[in-house]
Structure 1
Amino acid sequence: MSGVERAAILLMSLGETEAAEVLKHMGAKDVQKLGAAMATLSNVSRERATEVVDAFIAELDSQTSLGVGADDYVRRVLVGALGQDKASGLIDRILLGRNSKGLEALKWMETRAVADIVRNEHPQIVAIVLSYLDPDQAADVLGQLPDRMKSDVLMRIARLDGIQPAALRELDEIMEKQFTGGNNLKASSVGGVKVAATILNLMDSSEEQAIIGRIGELDQELSQRIQDLMFVFDDLADVDDRSVQTLLRDVGSETLGLALKGADPRVRDKILRNMSKRAAEMLVEDMEARGPAKLSDVEAAQKEILAIARRLADAGTIVIGGKGEAFV
């Protein structure tokens, strides 16, 4: 079972009220993933549910101790898992209630709706908004903007070096007028070359090349810096074996087989070497039986695996790196 499936079984074991309380403390993307997993669960045996709950209790027992305040525990766990910078926003939302609902509301919206909201704004505003979103959501929104805007917006994201609290508060108020929410914001560090590289990594390959090409025409140095920080599927060949094995535990066999259809031989060999002999044989058999696949489907599968790799890298579970070691 994947981590999402285990979490879905655990939440469904808790009951509606308790599950709802847990979901209140989670981000939009995680809630969507868990909701989808719960909706597709069927015929979960009592033994399987008990196994998941027992594993969770064992994990909890290994990390908590009597006498530790709940707030202190949450703060330490988040900082330990994500680092001080990444954890600070979550700590604020969970413990301090500093929820920037204006901009935060965008994370809960369909990407097409977000694109419709920002497409007529100044490119600098769009750059700040996309920097605030999760990278995969930002990539989807950017892909739906007019072609003339895409390279301009990505260049502005790469050149962002934080944003003043007053400016961020004003932008949050503008977003709030279109839906609901508050405007209690801290200073925020958004944007930068790494953010631009991450967003670009998550876009379709054809658009990725077109955008980086247009940026190169305007600023070759910036274009090269972005490319140096990108992590592409072929870079998996250089990831250490332990990280590859950890990654494979979160990737479905169907997605993996499709992604390897168009992979560099070095990547294919790396993946197969880090699987059991039987699993590798079954994967090769499935790939041969599948026959030809659309390039777009292969690229989508590779993007999905890269997104999982980045998520694990951000959590400190694995180590990956592009040419510029952006994701470590």
Structure 2
Amino acid sequence: MSAIEYNKLTDLSGVEQAAMLLVSMGEEGAAKVLAHMNSQSVQSVSQVMARLSNVKQSDAELVLLRLFEDYRGQAGIARASRTYLQRTLDSALGDKLAKSLLDSIYGDEVKTLVQRLEWVEPQLLARQIAPEHPQLQAVLLGLLPPEAASLVLQRLPQDSHDELLVRIAQLGELDREVIEELKELVDRCLAVANERSHTRVTGVSQVAGILNRFDGDRGQLMEMLKLHDDRLAAEVELNMFDFIILGRQNDEVLHALLQEVPQDVLALALKGIENDLKRKLTEALPKRMAQALETQIAALGQVTLSRAEAARSEVMKIARQMMDAGAFELQLYEEQVVE
């Protein structure tokens, strides 16, 4: 509540504020409240109620907001669910006034809920809302940020675009039934997105790790993956940029890469790796540099695994940057060749 609004309320006595509140509640609600008051209080507030005329909704809302701010601090109303308060206030105040008050207390809950879908992949979101009624699709798109809504719209059937845009343009105040349906739809979308995200990321990383350590024909396996799903195979390849793949690069690639890696980072990266891989990397260096590196590795003593892994990640980051710049091509797996 702003200072101006608060000052406006302080011009009214407690009895006047109570009278405005009771008038706003209607006959049935006011009668229930008056039944809990003593005779003197009933008489006092009734006299003021009788003198009231043309109570503005904005003034009534100020009184209600003040009441709830006081009550919330004393009775823990902030922890009550919006659904519970909606039913309670609807009964006492009527739907329109209750909604206005709740929006003041909680903000626009529905819009905030829908905005949680921003991070959901547009293709997945479009697939989830496609079977729904166009009006519900329009409500969801109308509450999403424009950038996210545009990406989702592009993935819905093209012949539905004009109808959805018209429905979005005509949106106004939402009925409660629509809000409840929207909440259920958002919950379903989030549940599917969370499930897909966890399974997909873990699965792709697992496949990449398996292929990196597979002694058989990795190239043939990758070709089979591409036949099933090109996009999935590309994600697997991206996740195969693991330090272990340096063991299958030729000396020319390794020499170019290791020349660009700071020696202290390389020394940390080589701590605790398999002897064959360590030998492969050090043999790609000039003999004097390899000897200096061995001395530096020994001088490090014990290091935490996290430090060693961070150094390996740094090496692979440099490798990826050099490959993207065209310095060399890293071999993720042995591809088939023809004469």
* TM bucket normalised to smaller: 0.3 to 0.5
- In terms of Rg, which structure is larger? 2
Which one scores higher on RCO, CA 8 angstroms, separation ≥ 6? 1
TM, length-normalised to structure 1: 0.34
TM, length-normalised to structure 2: 0.33
